[in-house]
Homo-oligomer: A and B are copies of this chain.
Amino acid sequence: MADRRPVGFGDPDGGTAAGPATTGTATGSRVLDDESMAHLVPERSKRGHKGSFGKLLVIAGSIDYAGAALLVCRAAGRAGAGLVTLAVPDSLQPLFAAKVVEATTMALPEDDVEEVDPEPALAKILDHDHDALVIGPGLRPSLATADLLRLLLTTPDEPPEGWPEQQPRQGAEPARSGDASPVVLDAEALRTLASADSWWTRVGRQCVLTPHAGEFARLRAGSGHDPTDDGDLNTDDDARAAAAAAAAGEWKQVVVLKGARTVIADPGGRLAVAPFENPAMASGGTGDVLSGTIGGLLAQGLDAFDAACLGVYLHGLAGDVVRDRIGDAGLLAGDLPDALPIGRRRLARLAERGRTGRRLGFGASRVAGAADHDAGPTRPDPAIDADADDPGGAS
């Protein structure tokens, strides 16, 4: 195995003053609903080909957590991504090949059994053509994983530390802010960030972080906050919204704080809450489905906040579909991906009626009234629709 330095985003020589982050303020969150989400559903050109709908690269899975990778891939496909590729350590590829029959697989170079070799792995990843990434679900905790994550996320003006003696290699440059594809960070990727100093000052990609309350608390602690100051992140909706908004502002990234009534916050101050409280969803693997859903939407070209909002919403609708069928317990995460298109179609039809209605001179309220399973007409939501500044690269 190659000699490798401990993981660390921060400057090992100290001096990582993050400075006063421009914290987003939680001045009011919008509850996501069918109508506000409908117009986010990307229209799908009749002449589109699979490349038109985006390529997603998924870095996920290990021998202990193999299913997570499969859930991500299947969810991304059901969310409408054109092509999905799963990257795994070379020795694990036979385990994953053809398990999701539509996803291709890619072997990442190893320097030990089931352990990636970060630099050549990075080179292979950057050489692969993709529009978005999902990193983290089911990854094995290790220095190598953390190193690979750091290399993928850091900006080019902060060259990777630790290999100063190495010669530059083609294809191994860290991603550049301008051309780097957006990434969903989940699970092990979040745990890695939580122990990295001031990681948010060095990240050169648009990210969507999808922590549950426990992961969020660790990330906050890693940012120098006492998590207890955030209040009860499982049950207090106001506390959840405020904490997610503060974190999004500090980290300059979109934050999805999962749980009942999932919160989505972006660095520009946009804040949304999903209406779903479905105990059937409290089951292993449902988070993997969410990261795949958001990743699939990123690949289709949605911006990070929109992809996070719509992904959370479609995931919640899918959960409701399954709960309607089996009740509030016994849902398995593998039930969800196939239910994703049902919600998407519902929203797409609503959007289509909106477009038709407007063309015909009917107003939005008429359209919403036609969606008989909705609570009622809702106004177009300027808070969610409004353009925000690019929440992208920090520092």
Q: Which residues of A contact B (CB under 8 A)?
A: 44-50, 52-53, 63-67, 69-71, 74, 77-80, 82-84, 93-107, 212-213, 234-235, 259-260, 277-280, 282-286, 326-334, 340-342, 344-345, 348
Q: Which residues of B contact A94 (CB under 8 A)?
A: 63, 95
Jot down 24 A-B pairs with beta carbons below 8 A, ordered by A: A44-B282, A44-B329, A46-B260, A46-B279, A47-B235, A47-B260, A48-B282, A49-B260, A49-B282, A50-B286, A53-B329, A67-B100, A67-B101, A67-B103, A77-B283, A77-B330, A78-B330, A82-B283, A84-B284, A102-B284, A326-B342, A328-B345, A329-B344, A330-B340
Q: Which residues of B contact A341 (CB under 8 A)?
A: 326-327, 329-331
Q: Which residues of B contact A333 (CB under 8 A)?
A: 101-102
CB < 8 Å: which of B79, B277, B284 contacts A46?
A: B277
Rounded to whole Å, the gap between the CB of A382 and the closest CB of chain B is: 27
Rounded to whole Å, the gap between the CB of A252 and the closest CB of chain B is: 27
Q: Which residues of B contact A327 (CB under 8 A)?
A: 341-342, 344-345, 348
State the CA gap A11–B390 with chains docked (Å).
56
**How many chain copies does the complex carry?**
4
State the CA gap A95–B94 with chains docked (Å).
7
Rounded to whole Å, the gap between the CB of A372 and the closest CB of chain B is: 18
State the CA gap A231–B380 with chains docked (Å).
42
Q: Is the CB of A97 within 8 A of B63?
A: yes
Q: Is the CB of B66 within 8 A of A105?
A: yes
State the CA gap A50–B280 with chains docked (Å).
9
State the CA gap A83–B328 with chains docked (Å).
15
Q: What residue of chain B has the Cβ atom nearest to residue A79's Cβ?
A: B330
Rounded to whole Å, the gap between the CB of A65 and the closest CB of chain B is: 5
CB < 8 Å: which of B277, B282, B342 contacts A53?
A: B282
State the CA gap A70–B101 with chains docked (Å).
7
Q: What residue of chain B has the Cβ atom nearest to residue A345's Cβ?
A: B327
Q: Which residues of B contact A340 (CB under 8 A)?
A: 330
State the CA gap A234–B277 with chains docked (Å).
44
Q: Which residues of B contact A286 (CB under 8 A)?
A: 50
Rounded to whole Å, the gap between the CB of A259 and the closest CB of chain B is: 6
